[in-house]
Amino acid sequence: MLAALSLSACNGSSGGPGGSGGGKKGSNGTPAPAAMTKADPGLITGAIATSLKASEPRKVSAAVPQIPKARNLTQALEVVRERTLRQAAWDKATAVEISTSYLAASTDVIGVLVTSTTTTAGKATTALTSLWYDAQLSQTFSPSALISWPGWAAFAKAVGQAAADAGLDKAKALKALQDTPAPYGTGPAISFDTSGGLVVDFPPGAVKADPTQVRVTKKVASPLLSDFGTMAEGASTHPSTFTGTPTATRTWWTPGQNHPKAAASPNVRPLPGDSTAPVATASASPSASASAASSGPEHPSTAIGIDCVVHKAVALTYDDGPGPETGTVLAALAKHKGAATFFEMGNSIDTYPKTTVLVAASGYEIGSHTVTHPDLASLGSERLAQEITGNNTRIKKLIGRSPLLLRPPYGSHNESADAVASADNLAIVNWSVDTEDWKTKSTSATEAKVFSDVSVYTEPIILMHDIHDFTVAAAEPIIEKLTAEGYKLVTVSEMTLNTGGFRTGHGYCRGTSLVQDGYLCKG
């Protein structure tokens, strides 16, 4: 039994477990929104509340937790928040509010709902994003991971029929169901209702102008769940404490020496060990085998946002700022719908605190670059704390959260520095391509270095400095050309999220689909 409705209907409880529109009705006669499950935040051990408030470049309020015992989920939440803020700029929004709640909790699962309300031309619209964390794999997934590979075609059929029964455009619903979930695409959030059925929430514009909800009852949904989906259902309907110690551990992704082919992405196949997965033949992948067996749409990727194994990606990074012209770099990124990561130095933050807030509120990632730019490998424990923890404190005071990333000056760090970084929940990020902009002092040389080296490396991280006018002048030409050549300009957290993400206290020079191979990078 199925039901569908528009979220513009008045709120109320859903119908009974087997209902298809029974229960309270909205003002237009459609069923009222389904009661999604909720988990008490107190069940998430060690979770830290964060809050970003800003008035420029638009009114921003973003409350997204950090969960040190689920670092990949924390990374996913930051990625979704930042993409939502960038999207607000692209849509010329005047205000954006982001909040979160927990859908599920257990030893092995966390479900999080991100609610984003954006005001554009005086109209507020709300979109939902659901993130699902598998503690056994230490990996976060888009909600399609809840559905088994063999069950996807039947699930899509059920969703399409529910949309049609409600007078909605079935073709639009099915197209959006296959898309990347919001905020990256028109794909839906998927969660459980209190009876164990599935709630499918499409963002504004996906099926109709308003957000649209489709429900699939437990009777229909349960046989279609993956093993992870079954665990998630239990964690949703009977939540319990997440401790950070799963009942078992499994390997999600093993980095290789060479760039993996797109078809090798772990996100285009069932989760490791899933008993519902079809058996691959010698000539077909699990995804292709499932599609052939079901004669329906292929199971969508389980990646959050951009799968950097499938897509050509590059992470532009800027050190030593903020500077007097950092805003020019932000404008170039916004114009071409790109992203970047800014490793900010305490002395510069003290000089341009409003710019630090502007970077965060505009949806760009902020990491730490110490307070005064010393060689960390030469410092004792007290000074290390001043430089690393001290800069975290500065950043948190301005943007309401501590950074997750540290770039050591000169790329230099040792075990003592790594220990302080680890205690502060920081991963260490160096680079693949050093433009040496500070040395050449040349816009053209900086551009040439990027263009010559970007194709040499897989998932490259490029180093520049936004405190120099000659580097700032190179920003738009670099961004424009890389975009034209088909590169996805991502933050370093976006680049690594779907292949395990960053581990606290470890060093990285490139994306995590590959073994780390660079100066003081051990992965």
Pairing, β 59-62 against β 52-54: antiparallel
Output the CA–CA distances (angstroms, integers) from residue 500 to 59, 139, 141, 244, 425, in the order listed.
Answer: 33, 6, 11, 16, 16
| Arithmetic mean of pLDDT over the chain | 92
Predicted confidence at residue 290, as pLDDT, reads: 47
Contact 203, 210 (CB under 8 A): no
Specify the pTM: 0.93
Q: Outline where 377-436 has alpha helix (H).
A: 381-399, 415-423
Asked if residue 176 belongs to a domain, the reply is yes
Pair (72, 188) in one structural domain: yes
Task: Find the CATH number of the domain harbouring 63.
Answer: 3.30.565.40
At which of 168, 186, 216 does a domain end? 216
- Give the chain's largest Cα–Cα span: 70
- Domain count for the chain, please give it: 2
Pair (322, 210) in one structural domain: no
Asked if residue 520 belongs to a domain, the reply is no
Pair (203, 334) in one structural domain: no
pLDDT, one tens digit per residue, over 309-368 is 999 999 999 999 999 999 999 999 999 999 999 999 999 999 999 999 999 999 999 999
At 6, the pLDDT band (50, 70, 90 cuts) reads very low
- What whole-number distance in Å separates Cα of residue 165 and Cα of residue 180? 24
pLDDT, one tens digit per residue, over 104-134 is 999 999 999 999 999 999 999 999 999 999 9
Residue 51 has pLDDT above 50, yes or no: yes
- What whole-number distance in Å separates Cα of residue 5 and Cα of residue 162? 9
Predicted confidence at residue 31, as pLDDT, reads: 45
Count other C-beta atoms under 10 Å from residue 115's C-beta.
15
Output the CA–CA distances (angstroms, integers) from residue 44 to 55, 78, 98, 110, in the order listed.
Answer: 31, 17, 20, 8
Asked if residue 523 belongs to a domain, the reply is no
Output the CA–CA distances (angstroms, integers) from residue 466 to 258, 348, 389, 470, 477, in the order listed.
Answer: 31, 11, 23, 9, 15
At 296, the pLDDT band (50, 70, 90 cuts) reads confident
Asked if residue 278 belongs to a domain, the reply is no
At which of 216, 236, 268 does a domain end? 216
Pair (64, 212) in one structural domain: yes
Residue 66 has pLDDT above 70, yes or no: yes
| Residue 78 φ/ψ, nearest 5 degrees | -65, -40
Asked if residue 290 belongs to a domain, the reply is no
- What whole-number distance in Å separates Cα of residue 70 and Cα of residue 133? 8
Residue 191 has pLDDT above 80, yes or no: yes
> Rounded mean pLDDT of 498-520?
93
Q: Which residues pair with 114 in a beta bridge?
A: 100, 129
> Rounded mean pLDDT of 423-452?
98
Residue 27 has pLDDT above 60, yes or no: no
Predicted confidence at residue 33, as pLDDT, reads: 60
At 278, the pLDDT band (50, 70, 90 cuts) reads confident
At which of 216, 231, 253 does a domain end? 216
337-372 per-residue burial string, b: 16 or more CB within 10 A, e: under 16: ebbbbbbbbbebbeebeebbbbbbbbbbbbbbbbbe
User: Quick one: the chain helix, strand, coil %, rounded to 5?
Assistant: 35, 20, 45
Pair (10, 155) in one structural domain: yes
Contact 492, 429 (CB under 8 A): yes
User: Which residue's entry shows tokens 């000056």?
Assistant: 409
Predicted confidence at residue 492, as pLDDT, reads: 98
Predicted confidence at residue 257, as pLDDT, reads: 87
Pairing, β 123-134 against β 109-120: antiparallel
Task: Find the CATH number of the domain harbouring 317.
Answer: 3.20.20.370
At 32, the pLDDT band (50, 70, 90 cuts) reads low
33-56 per-residue burial string, b: 16 or more CB within 10 A, e: under 16: bbebbbbeeebbeebeebebebee
3-state class (DSSP) for residue 250: coil
Pair (201, 320) in one structural domain: no
Asked if residue 140 belongs to a domain, the reply is yes
Contact 230, 72 (CB under 8 A): no
- What whole-number distance in Å separates Cα of residue 142 and Cα of residue 380? 43
Pair (317, 210) in one structural domain: no
Contact 60, 50 (CB under 8 A): no
Asked if residue 288 belongs to a domain, the reply is no
How far out from the chain centre does Cα 432 lie? 22
What domain range includes position 31? 2-216
Asked if residue 411 belongs to a domain, the reply is yes
Residue 28 has pLDDT above 50, yes or no: no
At 1, the pLDDT band (50, 70, 90 cuts) reads very low
Counting DSSP H helices and E strands in the chain, the numbers are 15, 19
